[in-house]
Structure 1
Amino acid sequence: MVITNEVDLPEFSALNVPEVNLSTTTLMSAAPYLGKACESINNEFMLCRQELKDPRQCLELGKQVTACTMDFFRRLKKNCLQEFNQYANCIDKSSGDYSFRHCRKTQSAFDYCMSDKLCMVRPGFGYFCRARIHSSSRPQPAGTPCPCHPVVPDATPSLPDCKPRPPARFGSRYYWMTE
């Protein structure tokens, strides 16, 4: 990517945050609970990225997302580590494509622990696909159209001429079906 002198890049110290170094199965096992626990800050971060179209202006929100994730895994480790490890290990070892279907018993034990000790209930199927309104405390950036009145481009000025097509050279494609 080529940039010019006018582009202000953030200092390395502004980008330096502790990373969440976890495996695929660990993240897959905790994903519904993590998504629910950090839902508001994730939505705020994604709204910032969508509205401003410049990730440099959303660095602080990104740090808050990482901090929320780290805090969630600390609470998980403190309260439900054994059940979580059994569930993640089952997902890792039971199939080659990280399928959940072989691990419903360990999932149930993990869900019970999360409900009992952290008061978190697994979100229902399709929870993250539902449309929800996120109310933000940030002011709407200037120049962003109101989502209630989207800007719709003008219709196509004219359609191409619809000339009748000549008959097929070699007959109908349904020739073999009519006999």
Structure 2
Amino acid sequence: MVLTKEVDLPEFTTLTVPEVDLSTATLMSAAPYLGKYCEGINNEFMLCRFESNDPRACVELGKKVTACTLQLFRNIKSKCKQEFDQYSHCVDKSSGNFSFENCRKTQAVFDTCMKEKMCMERPDFGYFCRARVHNSPSAPPPPEPCPCQPKVPDETPSLPDCKPRPPARFGGRYFWITE
């Protein structure tokens, strides 16, 4: 993006928010619950990013996404801290690639705690792959008129009548196949 005098950049103070500075294992351990807990605001943020094609328009939504993430981790810390610490430590230390396969027992304990104390069930496998409709409260952006694009006719002209091809002069390419 080229910056000119006409481009208004937000002030640095509006961009400062508390960061979610957690380890990879911690984020991966809470990822299904995080995706479910902050699904609405995440979808709204991504919709804003794709529709506006300008990150400056979505700064406030980005702050809400960060706040939602921090709120989930505060809730986990207050209600299921010990179970979550065991699970994330297992994910961190049991393999070199943060694999979950060795941590199913601690995951079950954490899932039970989340269900009992926070009333959140772990999303089933494939939940985030399913297509869902997001009803956005914001209005869609107006379409951008582009006079530079040529007018394309709607109908495709029909193909010319195809005549049967004559057999190949020197035989086919599959000469080694016999019938």
Q: TM-score, normalised by structure 1?
A: 0.82
Alignment match, 1:61: 61
- Aligned residues, how many? 170
- In structure 2, the partner of 1:74 is 74
Structure-2 residue corresponding to 1:34: 34
* In structure 2, C-alpha distance between the alignment counterparts of 1:83 and 1:77, rounded to whole Å: 10
Partner of 1:161: none
Query: Per the alignment, in what secondary structure is the counterpart of residue 139 of structure 2?
Result: coil
Change (3 A) 1:36 1:154: farther
The residue identity in structure 2 corresponding to 1:127 is Y
Q: Percent identity?
A: 62
- 2:14 corresponding residue in structure 1: 14
Q: Which runs of 5+ in 1 are unaligned?
A: 146-152, 159-163
RMSD over equivalenced CA pairs, Å: 2.8
Q: 1-side partners of 2:127 and 2:81: how far apart?
A: 25
Match runs of 1:30-179 below 5 Å: 30-143=30-143
Mark the runs of 5 or more structure 2 residues left unpaired by the alignment.
146-151, 158-164
Q: Over alpha carbons, which structure has the higher Rg?
A: 2
Tell me how far 1:129 sits from its aligned partner.
Answer: 0.8
CA contact (8 A) 1:91 1:99 kept: yes
Stretches (4+) displaced over 6 A:
none
Q: TM-score, normalised by structure 2?
A: 0.82
Distance in 1 between residues matched to 2:175 and 2:17, nearest whole Å: 65
2: distance between equivalents of 1:174 and 1:28? Answer: 57
Q: Distance in 1 between matches of 2:21 and 2:174?
A: 58
Residue 139 of structure 1, CA deviation: 1.1
